Amino acid sequence: MNTDATAPDTAPRVLGVPAMGLVVLVGVSGSGKSTFAARHFGPTEVVSSDFCRGLVSDDENDQAASADAFALLHTIVDVRLRRGLLAVVDVTNVQQRARAELLAVAKANDVPATAIVLDVPESVARRRNRVRPDRDFGDHVIARQCRDLRQSVKRLRKEGFRKVHVLKGVAEVDAAVVERERAWPDRTELTGPFDVIGDVHGCREELEELLAALGYAFTRDDRGRAVGARHPDGRTAVFVGDLVDRGPDTPGVLRLAMGMVRDGDALCVPGNHENKLIRALRGTKVTPTHGLAESLEQLGRESEEFRAEVLDFCDGLVSHLVLDGGRLVVAHAGLKEAYHGRASGRVRSFALYGDTNGETDEYGLPVRLPWARDYRGRAAVVYGHTPVLKAEWVNNTLCLDTGCVFGGKLTALRYPERETVDVAARRTWYEPVRPLAGEGPGPSAGGDRSDTVVDITDVGAGGRRPGLFVETEFGTVRAGGPSVLGALEVMSRFSVDPRWLLYLPPTMAPAPAASEAGYLEHPDEAFAWYRAAGIGQVVCEEKHMGSRAVAVLCRDGAAAERRFAPGSTGTVYTRTGRPFFADRALGAGVVDRLRAAVTGAGLWDRLGTDWIALDGEVLPWSAKARTLIRDQYASVGAAARAALPAAGAALAAAAARGLDVGRLAEKTARSAEQMEEFSRVYRRYSWDTDGIAGLRFAPFAVLASQGREYSDADHLWHMATAERLAEADPLVRTTRYRVVDTTDPAACASAAAWWREMVDAGGEGMVVKPLHGARATGAKGLTQPGLKVRGPEYLRIIYGPDYTDPGRLEALRDRRPGAKLGLAMREHKLGLEALARHARGEPLWRVHEAVFATLALEAEPVDPRL
């Protein structure tokens, strides 16, 4: 069909298109758009009206379906652009109105639009359409389209297309080559390491001092002025903008920064001050406030040539930079996630001035909206612009403007090390209009440091369909809608301040049903399970019958305020995040005793921390569960003790009358015995306490301390640490344990005997755990962190006093723990994730997300007796 193709006598046209953005093909029907699109773009990148018509009507040529088809097309384009992909639209697009709608979608997504016009002779288009049986419209349609096209071509730039490529004739269309151009801010190929430097504002001396501290070596001109600096390890400096104004030596700062950028030793994004300087240097009339006058005066003493260089430099700066594979974003005033890597007027405005709503504060300065507070992106955003007292991470964002020119500090971030380095200002070079953030009252001056509350969308609620998906190291874990709403209520009404909640204990599955007669659970099954999972060494730990408790203990109030929340030195919370002790004074007393035990055991220094989180069990059971024991267990016992003798007497009287009630009488008698055994169980775990007196805390794991978590430590270490604590204070109870090789039958048998001994003496049972700790992996990856093996008497309060009756036990063996094992594993993943996020110092919402999901999973319907 290429009948009129002639060899092009020039090099093929290279058409630049945005790697992320919109490409609109403009051409009449039969101009070869689809062929062109298929040749240059991937099938999922191209959206055509024919395709959408097919989707909504099963007929690609059903013109009656056009309205729906175009609505769908715009949605697809919108979604692709929002997700940072390329969208190529294959529609005739010869009419301005059709293009305007597409341009609006591109604009809304802050991406550039490129038009490629396929201008082939009308005769070619007519011929092509005639040979296509599905095109039944007449030549007059083509003629009209050609007219529209001719009128369009001239005004495409004006309509808003950043680039317009017009391909004249079939030969040029066929020869064209498409080249994808990355957006200006996209410098993801640069991996650093970087030293990001905050707002310099003409403070040359401090800048030189900071660069020297970071290890840069200077090049100087013949007058001794620094004109470049290079790091021996090839690090790259990144300036967050606002190099100029207010300070004593704006030209000196520019000379150094421009030199470094020119030599490839630095990158730079523009600040609002550079933006204004550009206009001033260009001769635009601007008010020389906020230190601009100083810059102009200082620059006035420089050469014309230097001023031209400055203008060039500032004018060439790209609004923001996306670095290190997308993991680092640098923008002067910060940048919300939706704008990363995008280019539009409002993206530039955000990057330069921040998120403002036009309001000003009592000092006449614009109110900056707290975008960082709502930031949820994976990329670290490093910025300046708003002077703060101290550079602090907020939701993976960091403001480096520590007000050097106002007498504060000049700060740099070493990346990826995430260390800050700062030098103090030599003096106050410029009086601030308002106090530095943190000093003044009110939210506008308080900066963005509000990492104290979690947004409702962070926990999977507040939207149309509640539900939470948490990405963990071991895969995504999902919590369903009703569970999320249940957890929301519990967290809102009952839990401790979420800042203390670094972890909720996952549920634990029982060992598979025992094969040994008379038992529902037996150690052999736990050993066999781990053996099959490829775990050789396990530890058997005595299971205390109490209430699960997590204790977070701080060395002092300062540590609590820094890492958790002000106002206390620790907390003890339950498996669902509630304060363990309803009595505040008692809770504080227990915290103080445990803190003293940590001090006595020397753990602060040993672990190099000023806080520690312990997972354990508070005894007795009755301390927390008195109501439960009373209502659900002792009451049943009471009812039985009242009713069974009465029934026995009635049956005896009936028997005396000669009625046949033998089976019933016998059953009633047996039931009375079982009820006594049942009652013995809960009585054993109930004893009186008076304040702290009588309470015991049995820790079995150190969860975390400053900057690290201990899921990778083996259980012997955890047990030894618990023993240290117990030596320091008798409030802490140790846990009996022994290590077992699951492949050694003798060791297994001996451990089973040990278990039997413990449960015969009234113990609840034991927990079998992989020796190597919570992160132990077996043949199939991450394995269950523990399996419980409960004693036969204890199980009476779980399965009923009479569960040992013949037939019952057999039936119970079919109890199907699969769902419970699955739940335990999902909660285990969340627990590890929460600890890891907390240890990495991730924002509150990230830790809370995993913790919240654990609570939500606890609400999922799984047989709770398992």
Partner 1 sequence: MLLTITTTATPAAPATDLGYLLHKNPGRVQGFEQSFGTAHVFYPEATAERCTAALLLEVDPRALLRARTSVSTPDFALAQYVNDRPFAASSLFTVALGRVFRSALRGRSDARPALAAAPLPLELHLPAVPCRAGADKARALFEPLGWRVSAEPVPLDPGLPGWGDSPYLSLTLSGEQVLSEALSHLYVLLPAMDGGKHYWVDRGEVDKLLRAGGLRVAGPDGDTAEEDPEAGSAWLVRHPERAWITRRYLGRRQTYVRTALARLAEADDLPEEEADPGLEDVLAPPAPDRPGQERAPSLAAQRAGAVLAVLRAENASSVLDLGCGPGALLAELVADPALERITGADVDTASLQRAHRRTCRGCAPGGRGRHRDLFGDTGAVREQGARPPRPELLVGSAVYRDARFCGYDAVVLMEVVEHLDPERLPALEETVFAAARPRIAVVTTPNAEYNVHYERLAPGALRHSDHRFEWTRAEFARWADAVAERNGYTVRHLPVGPQDPATGSPTQMGVFTR
- Tell me which residues in 607-646 interact with partner 1 (CB under 8 A): 624-646
Q: How far is the CB of 47 from partner 1 (least distance, A)?
A: 24
Structure tokens at 691: 């304040």
Minimum CB separation of residue 384 from partner 1 in Å reads 24
Residue 844 CB contacts under 8 Å (≥ 6 apart), including other chains = 451, 452, 454, 498, 499
Instruction: For partner 1, give the closer residue by CB, 630 or 813.
Output: 630
Cβ neighbours around 7 below 10 Å, total: 6
Question: Closest CB to partner 1 among 533 and 798?
Answer: 798
Rounded to 5°, angle at Cα 141 from 140 and 147 = 90
Least distance (Å) between residue 670 CB and partner 1: 12
Q: Does 798 bind partner 1 (CB under 8 A)?
A: yes
Considering the complex, what minimum distance in angstroms separates the CB of residue 371 from partner 1? Answer: 13
Residues in contact with partner 1, counted by CB under 8 A, come to a total of: 99
Q: Toward partner 1, which CB reaches closer, 122 or 677?
A: 677
Residue 228: C-alpha distances to residues 174, 212, 217, 231 (Å): 49, 12, 8, 10
Q: Smallest gap, in angstroms, from Cβ of residue 630 to partner 1?
A: 7
Closest CA to 168 of 31, 280, 61, 281: 31
Distance CA 705, CA 584 (A): 24
Q: Give me 113's structure tokens.
A: 């639009």
What is the CA angle 672-674-676, rounded to 5? 75
Residues in region 736-765 near partner 1 by CB under 8 A: none
Element (H, E) at 312: helix 304-315
Of 481, 534, 589, 600, the residue at the interface with partner 1 (CB under 8 A) is 481
Residue 485: its H or E element = helix 481-493
Find the largest Cα–Cα distance for the chain: 126
Q: Other C-beta atoms within 10 Å of 194: how many? A: 25
Confirm or reject binding of residue 683 to partner 1 (CB under 8 A): yes
Cα 158 from Cα 188, distance rounded (Å):
31
Interface with partner 1, residue 75, by CB under 8 A? no
| CB 624 to partner 1: min, Å | 6
CB closer to partner 1, 379 vs 491: 491
Applying CB under 8 A, among 496, 590, 597, 774 the residue interacting with partner 1 is 496
- One-letter amino acid at 526 equals A
How far is residue 202's CA from residue 100's CA, in Å, rounded to a whole number? 45
Q: Is 331 helix (H, G, I), strand (E, B) or coil?
A: strand
- Among 493, 746, 780, 814, which residue sits at the site for partner 1 (rule: CB under 8 A)? 493
Among positions 811-850, residues that touch partner 1 (CB under 8 A) are 811
Q: Is 803 in the site for partner 1 (CB under 8 A)?
A: yes
Considering beta carbons, is residue 147 or 865 the nearer one to partner 1? Answer: 865
Closest approach of partner 1 to the CB of residue 591, in Å: 14
* Nearer residue to partner 1 within complex by CB, 16 or 463: 463
Query: Which is nearer to partner 1, 163 or 796 (by Cβ)?
Result: 796
Say which residues have a Cβ less than 8 Å from residue 798's Cβ, sequence separation at least 6: 790, 865
Stretch that binds partner 1, among 379-387, 596-604, 651-659, 695-703 (CB under 8 A): 651-659
Query: Residue 803 CB, nearest distance to partner 1 (Å)?
Result: 7
Of 421, 654, 731, 747, the residue at the interface with partner 1 (CB under 8 A) is 654
CB nearer partner 1, residue 50 or residue 860: 860
Return phi, psi of residue 147, to 5°. Answer: -60, -50
Closest contact distance (angstroms) between CB of 805 and partner 1 is 10
End-to-end CA distance of the chain: 73
- CB closer to partner 1 out of 229 and 618: 618
Give the number of other Cβ atoms within 10 Å of residue 171's Cβ. 19
The interface with partner 1 within residues 261-320 (CB under 8 A) comprises: none
Q: Which is nearer to partner 1, 476 or 632 (CB)?
A: 632
Question: Which one of residues 609, 671, 705, 783 is an interface residue with partner 1 (CB under 8 A)?
Answer: 671
CA 63 to chain centre: 46
Smallest distance, Å, CB 656 to partner 1? 8
Decide whether 55 or 661 has the Cβ nearer to partner 1. 661
- 224 near partner 1 (CB under 8 A): no
- Helix locations, 685-761, DSSP H: 715-728, 745-760
Which member of 156, 226, 488, 782 binds partner 1 (CB under 8 A)? 488
- 548 and 623 in contact (C-beta within 8 Å)? no
Peptide bond into 416 cis (omega under 30): yes
How far lies 48's CA from each of 39, 85, 89, 160, in Å?
A: 15, 16, 6, 21
Name, in order, each residue with C-beta under 8 angstroms of 224's C-beta and a sequence gap of 6 or more: none
Residue 538: CB minimum distance to partner 1, A = 28
Residues within window 527-586 making contact with partner 1, judged by CB under 8 A: 547, 565, 567, 574, 576, 578-579, 582
Q: Which listed range, 28-36, 101-109, 383-391, 678-686, lies at the site for partner 1 (CB under 8 A)?
A: 678-686
Q: Which of 58, 305, 431, 688 binds partner 1 (CB under 8 A)?
A: 688
* Residue number, 43 or 864, with CB nearest to partner 1: 864
Cβ closest to partner 1, residue 306 vs residue 799: 799
Half-sphere exposure of 508 (CA within 13 A, CB side): 18
d(CA 604, CA 596): 11
- Least distance (Å) between residue 267 CB and partner 1: 34
Interactions with partner 1, residue window 351-410 (CB under 8 A): none
- Indicate whether 345 belongs to the interface with partner 1 (CB under 8 A): no
- The position carrying tokens 């109870």 is 733
Q: Which residues contact 21 (CB under 8 A, 6 or more apart)?
A: 81, 86, 87, 106, 111, 112, 113, 114, 183
- Short-list 314, 332, 338, CA closest to 238: 332
CB of 465 to partner 1, least distance (A): 5
Report yes or no: 175 and 165 within 8 Å, Cβ to Cβ: no
Measured from the CB atom, is 740 or 857 closer to partner 1? Answer: 857
Which region among 41-49, 287-295, 501-509, 656-664 touches partner 1 (by CB under 8 A)? 656-664
Location of structure tokens 């609840």: 764
Nearer to partner 1, 6 or 492 (CB): 492
Give, as ranges, the residues between 439 and 478 that touch partner 1 (CB under 8 A): 441-443, 450, 452-459, 461-466
Tokens in use for 115?
Answer: 């038009």
